[in-house]
DNA sequence: GCCAACGTTGGC
DNA sequence: GCCAACGTTGGC
């Protein structure tokens, strides 16, 4: 069982959008970064816990909790000529991009990026590092416990 | 809207 | 393999 932080632009899929989807589940398609892909393909397991992070918005930060609800499988959008995620180099036999499904667990009182930065216990978090752009990052179990114990208010 | 940081591409 | 150019991310 691992812990992750996954970024989503709320204008794309917000924590409330996720809560209202069928099965409260979304296919995490469209990741086109190799490191993020490798995390999904090689390390994520069904049941892994996810901090659902709102990025590129007025108050960036953790907006909810989710879980990985499927193993990684080929991202369908790479084969779709009409998708902005179409990849001409990907084939059905050798897919290049993968995604998992992510299921809503709960919405929380948002924990802003500024709030996260206030805690020395979290200073190692990838999302707090300068210049960080990776949309999927592992979360240390100690960091996860700290966040749940001290920062999550339902 | 600005711009720093980063990943990718492609010429050589 | 180097590296400049380019496109994207995402906080502010």
Residue A37 contacts by C-beta under 8 Å, 6 or more apart in sequence? A31, A97, A98
- In sequence order, which residues have a C-beta less than 8 Å from that of residue A131 and are 6 or more positions away? none
pLDDT value of residue A3: 98
β strands within chain A, DSSP E: 3-8, 25-27, 49-54, 61-68, 73-74, 98-99, 101-112, 136-138
Q: Measured between alpha carbons, how far is A14 from A28 in angstroms, rounded to an integer?
A: 13
Q: CA-to-C1' distance for A88 and B11, Å?
A: 22
C-alpha torsion sign, points A78, A89, A74, A127: negative
How many whole angstroms separate alpha carbon A18 and alpha carbon A90?
A: 28
3-state helix, strand, coil in chain A (%, to 5): 30, 25, 45
Residues ≥6 apart with Cβ < 8 Å to A76: A27, A29
Q: What is the pLDDT of residues A101-140, one digit of tens each?
A: 999 999 999 999 999 999 999 999 999 999 999 999 999 9
CA of A51 to C1' of C8 (A): 23
Pick the CATH number of A3-146 from 2.60.120.200, 2.60.290.11, 3.40.30.10, 3.10.590.10: 3.10.590.10
List chain C nucleotides near protein: any atom < 7 Å from a Cβ. 8-12
pTM metric for this prediction: 0.94
Residue A35 CA, nucleotide C1 C1', distance (Å): 22
pLDDT digits (tens, 9 = 90+) for A51-107: 999 999 999 999 999 999 999 999 999 999 888 899 988 888 889 999 999 999 999
Nearest CA-CA partner of A10 in A50, A57, A61: A57
Q: Give backbone dihedrals phi and psi of A19, rounded to 5 degrees, phi first.
A: -65, -25
């Amino acid at each position: 069982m691992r812990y992750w932080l996954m970024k989503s632009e709320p204008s794309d899929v917000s924590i409330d959008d996720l809560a209202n989807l069928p099965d409260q589940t979304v296919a995490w398609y469209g990741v086109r970064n190799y490191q993020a892909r490798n995390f999904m393909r090689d390390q994520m397991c069904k049941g892994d816990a996810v901090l659902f992070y709102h990025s590129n918005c007025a108050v960036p930060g953790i907006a909810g909790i989710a879980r990985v609800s499927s193993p990684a499988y080929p991202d369908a959008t790479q084969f779709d000529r009409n998708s902005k995620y179409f990849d001409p180099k990907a084939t059905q036999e050798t897919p290049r991009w993968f995604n998992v499904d992510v299921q809503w667990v709960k919405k929380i009182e948002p924990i802003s990026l500024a709030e996260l930065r206030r805690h020395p216990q979290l200073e190692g978090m990838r999302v707090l590092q300068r210049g960080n752009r990776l949309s999927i990052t592992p979360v240390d179990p100690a960091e996860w416990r700290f966040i749940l114990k001290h920062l999550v208010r339902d």
